[in-house]
Amino acid sequence: MLIDTHCHLDAPEFAADRAAVAERARAAGVGAIVNPSIAARTFADTVAVREAFGCLPAFGMHPMYLAEHRDEHLDLLRETLVRQQAVAVGEIGLDFFVPGLDAERQIALLDAQLRIARELDLPVLLHVRRAVDAVLKCLRRQRVRGGIAHAFNGSAQQAQAFIDLGFKLGFGGAMTYPRALNLRRLAADLPLESIVLETDAPDMPPEWLNRGRNEPAELPRIARLLADLRGLPFEEVVAATTANALSVLNIHQSENLGGTSEAPSLSLPPLLRR
């Protein structure tokens, strides 16, 4: 099975056909979807897609929605992470690309959420846009158990810095564009045990969708491209990236994880429900 380590199945773009999207993912061999929240207002939506489709929940406050985050939401975040048995704190991070987002306030919010992750011993799902070094600085200041650098797009040296801190690197649709030469080099050259797969659906569509809506059923084709870049059998890439995701996320053998997992010592029933 494949694990989509970052998909917003609760997004409004899926309102009309959410169940069909989940069914297409299941039919394509995607056995698990990690659904991160973006703000306190979406915590309930994250819970809803877990209850309806078996998605694995993560809860956090995304830097792009800085204007709506409040200090009291941090208490709600901590409570929700515990009550809902989250697999990670996320989506959290820094975005120095979008204009008008106060950098100092973003850093303070990230530090606060990293402290919660450290307190609860949870991994984190990181949004990192034009802010790799700043995020690494926060991680060195607030040490957590690791996590995933979502949609990684840094240098080989920055990739190694994340790996040294216990992180996996998320690769998805951006890697599929022929002009994404740096990403393709990283995908080919980084240790396979440091890579996980993601779609970020409905965003970050792969090249073949021609900027259309992305969805988790695209993950097998993304995995096949990674296999081609590395010159490896598709099945080996599926097994490795699934094992990587299981190792870094707060997933236990009791979770409803999918199918016949290639990860050793795990024998779990299907996750994505019909």
pLDDT digits (tens, 9 = 90+) for 122-131: 999 999 999 9
pLDDT digits (tens, 9 = 90+) for 228-239: 999 999 999 999
Residue 268 has a pLDDT of: 35
In the three-class reduction of DSSP (H, G, I as helix; E, B as strand; rest coil), residue 251 is classed as coil
Residue 273 has a pLDDT of: 61
Fold of 2-248: TIM Barrel (3.20.20)
> Residue 262: which pLDDT band, with cuts at 50, 70 and 90?
very low
Whether 263 has a pLDDT exceeding 50, the answer reads no
Whether 120 has a pLDDT exceeding 60, the answer reads yes
pTM: 0.93
> Residue 274: which pLDDT band, with cuts at 50, 70 and 90?
low
Task: Considering only CA atoms, give the Rg of the chain.
Answer: 17
| Helix (H) / strand (E) containing 148 | strand 147-150
Can you say which residues are annotated as belonging to the binding site?
6, 8, 91, 127, 150, 200
pLDDT digits (tens, 9 = 90+) for 13-67: 999 999 999 999 999 999 999 999 999 999 999 999 999 999 999 999 999 999 9
Least confident of 16-20, 155-159, 168-172, 256-260: 256-260
Residue 272 has a pLDDT of: 64
* Distance from C-alpha of 57 to C-alpha of 80, rounded to nearest angstrom: 10
Residue 3 is classified by DSSP as E
Q: Looking at residues 183-201, what average pLDDT do you find?
A: 98
Q: Are 152 and 6 in contact (CB under 8 A)?
A: no
Can you say which residues are annotated as belonging to the binding site for a divalent metal cation?
6, 8, 91, 127, 150, 200
Q: Which residue has the tokens 């009291």?
A: 72
Which stretches of 142-180 are DSSP H helices?
156-164
Smallest CA-to-CA distance from 242 within 2, 6, 64, 44 is with 2
Which stretches of 87-218 are DSSP H helices?
103-120, 132-141, 156-164, 181-189
Residue 251 has a pLDDT of: 86
Whether 245 has a pLDDT exceeding 80, the answer reads yes
Smallest CA-to-CA distance from 56 within 199, 192, 252 is with 252
Terminal CA-to-CA distance of the chain, rounded, Å?
16
pLDDT digits (tens, 9 = 90+) for 72-112: 999 999 999 999 999 999 999 999 999 999 999 999 999 99
Whether 259 has a pLDDT exceeding 50, the answer reads no
Cβ neighbours for 98, distance < 8 A, ≥ 6 positions apart? 64, 129
- Amino acid identity, position 40: A
Residue 261 has a pLDDT of: 34
Dihedral sign of CA atoms 211, 180, 12, 198 in order: positive
